[in-house]
Chain A
Amino acid sequence: MTSSTPVAEPYLSVVAPLYNESENVAPLIEWILEALRDFPRSFEVVLVDDGSRDDTWTKVVNGAAANSQVRGIRLARNAGQTAAMMAGFDHARGQVIVSLDGDLQNDPRDIAALVSRLEEGYDLVCGWRQQRQDKLLLRKVPSWVANRMIRRLTGVPITDNGCSLKAYRRELLDRIPLYAEQHRFIPALSASVGARIAEMPVRHHARRFGESKYGISRTVKVLVDLLTLKMITTFRSRPLLGFLIATALPLTAAVAFGIMWLIALTQFGHDKARAMVFPAAAALSLAAAFYLFMLGLVAEVALSNERESANATPTAWEAR
């Protein structure tokens, strides 16, 4: 496969993170190039080696040498899938970016369809894996539960948040705060900045080489991350309010202990010392409420700087 002239400013960037995917690199490149052969506009492929311990990087270098449309980025250490995707996004030069898994489970033949859907006027088009070729109990059931919860909590009606095959507009990626292990929440994060989101069915294949880097423990982490994200997006502009709501719990407890104290006093009459546990518990609860209030103030102070810069560049999606 001889290379055409190098692409200066491609229209489309295909980003794939790779971690210990040595055997998959060459087929992946070949498959993507094959799938995009009839793509009407210029494109590039950005492969991100996320600190692999095998010879993934050598394969990427070979692929880049053989095809001018292929570029490679090697991270200094294993930074995780989200960070690897971010690295790819940061180095991608296209106006439209498509991400996909480096394990050949996504089908590059769907890329063109995703892009044309995006061009219909969306900022984000998510793939929805049909006939998912993964283990039922370890992958599909946890994923189903997680997706349901993500849908419920974020209110973004995306069926398959875990699918890596997605198409984005560059401007959207510049706006969403992506960090830690949050690539799963890209739809939710995008919705929170006002992006228009679509979902379309894509093909899914069983793994051919290498092994999955996921396990069931991930689902628990995803759920914790989800709750965190929910709380942050709800209260990021007014943390004090969130903490004030949280004080309701210890305040209620304080009142309850106070009432119990009064009841105990009437029961024990002169033996007041026996009922001293209740006022102490009430005082503790009050202290907790006070602490939460203070924490809310700290959060407000911590955010004051950020908010100034946020005012300069509004998070809401305005002009298109």
Chain B
Amino acid sequence: MTAKGARMQPMETPILPAQRPAEQMISVVVPVVERVDDLTALYRAFAGELKRLGEEFEFLFVFDGGFAPSPELTALAAGSDHIRLHRFAQRFGETAALRLGIERSRGDLLITLPSYFQVLPEGLGPLIAAVSGGAEMAVANRSPRLDSWLNRLQSRAFHQILGNIADTRFHDMACGVRVMRRTVAESLPLYGDMHRFIPALAVREGYKVSEIPVPQHPNDARMRVYGPGVYFRRLLDIATFFFVAKFTEKPLRFFGLVGSVSLAIGGAIGLALIVEKIGGHPISNRPLLLLGVLLVALGVQLIGLGLVGEIIVHLRAPHRRVYRVREQV
């Protein structure tokens, strides 16, 4: 029982009292999911770079379920004010890890960093400079890419599809290295697997996002072959993003359109069969009738689904704000 209780409790270092005003600190959030390199080495490399830049910083490692800090990292954290470790009791995924990191961090500037060497530490400087220079978010674009042609082709296809949906074209949304202001991070709708779309979400919220070329780390550039499940999930992610981006305010615009098309085709089939029947041909042996009925039923169902969505949006409307004010005079 005690063992189970201990497992259910996320292991956390106590939240440190803020030693400096938050506006002068950079919080680096490292979600530890899937791929992990030596985190002490990662910390030393990037913390060294931040020190060199003369920045005050903290590192928040958020371990997803199934991952644990190595003894070296725990020892390092115990002896340092700069490192805080959080650990999920079960697998919640990267988006949840980012959310926790954002919530628990104290800096006014946030950096998200993958738990493996994706870019060279020298890349942080230009990213931070971009945000200091007016952008509200700066995302890394690994360039030059050292990956295999296959991975580059996949990435290009992904961004092509997404670019057609979102208003802005990004080149490397899979790169987890991003610098953003705290206000931006806190206003992003992060849930599910939406972390993949952080730059596009920020643009949708009306933030200025700039893409900065950052040299890729040689370790990152290895041939990766994914199973079909990964591609399927990626497609679902894009579909979700598309739906959320276009139709959360007006679900019936989407369901109604698809439903009406189905209804119209089904209705046309029914009409054609009625004409045949009047013309003297029996329709009792026409499987086409089934298709017609199926399409009509489907259409009605889809429109019904859209209406349920509309009712929910309608009743939520008083609690939602669909605009964001940039400035006021």
Contact = CB atoms under 8 A, between A and B. Distances in A.
A184 B189 CA distance: 29
A232 B300 contact: no
Contacts of B300: 246, 249-250, 288, 292
Contacts of A61: 329
A319 interface: no
Nearest to A239: B311
B163 interface: no
A280 B294 CA distance: 10
Contact of B304 (A60, A84, A181, A295): A295
Interface stretch (A95-103, A123-131, A299-307): A299-307
Given A71-B328, A292-B301, A277 B289 contact: yes
A246 B308 CA distance: 13
B322 A302 contact: no
Contact of B328 (A51, A74, A285): A74
Contacts of B301: 288, 291-292, 295
A235 B315 CA distance: 12
Most central of B308, B324, B325, B329 by chain A CB within 10 Å = B329
Nearest to B297: A288
A312 interface: no
How big is the A interface, by class? 35 or more
Contacts of A19: none
A274 B304 contact: no
Interface string A231-252: 1100110010011001001100
B40 to A, nearest CB: 40
B51 interface: no
A75 B206 contact: yes
Interface string A73-99: 111110110011011001100000000
Interface string A162-184: 00000000000000011111000
Contacts of B307: 228, 231-232, 242, 299
Given A236-B314, A246-B304, A303-B311, A284 B284 contact: no
Contacts of B313: 179-180
Contacts of A239: 308, 311
A33 B307 CA distance: 44
A206 interface: no
A316 interface: no
A256 B325 CA distance: 57
Interface string B292-328: 0110111011001101101111111110111111111
Contacts of A177: 314-315, 317-318
B275 to A, nearest CB: 16
Contacts of A259: none
A287 interface: yes
A275 B320 CA distance: 54
Contacts of B316: 306
A284 B297 contact: yes
A108 interface: no
A232 B311 contact: yes
A285 B314 contact: no
B204 to A, nearest CB: 8
Given A292-B304, A303-B311, A75 B329 contact: no
B329 A277 contact: no
A84 B305 contact: no
B169 interface: no
Contact of B317 (A75, A178, A257): A178
A112 interface: no
Nearest to B301: A291
A65 B329 CA distance: 8
A180 B290 contact: no
Contacts of B297: 250, 284-285, 287-288, 291
A87 B129 CA distance: 33
A76 B325 contact: yes
B255 to A, nearest CB: 11
Nearest to A281: B293
- Among B250, B284, B296, B312, the most chain A Cβ lie within 10 Å of the Cβ of B284
A72 interface: yes
A264 interface: yes
Nearest to A175: B318
B207 interface: yes
B294 A232 contact: no
B285 interface: yes
A224 interface: yes
Nearest to B257: A224
A291 B300 CA distance: 10
A285 B311 contact: no
Given A74-B326, A75-B326, A295-B308, A278 B284 contact: yes
A190 B74 CA distance: 61
Given A71-B329, A246-B300, A224 B324 contact: no
Nearest to B305: A295
Nearest to A250: B297
Interface string B18-42: 0000000000000000000000000
15 contacts: A74-B328, A76-B323, A87-B325, A91-B325, A177-B314, A177-B318, A180-B250, A232-B314, A253-B296, A268-B284, A275-B285, A277-B283, A288-B300, A303-B315, A306-B316
Given A180-B249, A236-B311, A277-B286, 6 more contacts: A76-B324, A236-B314, A239-B308, A253-B293, A285-B293, A288-B296
9 residue pairs, one from A and one from B, having the closest CB atoms: A76-B206, A77-B206, A288-B297, A177-B317, A179-B317, A306-B315, A79-B323, A76-B324, A64-B329
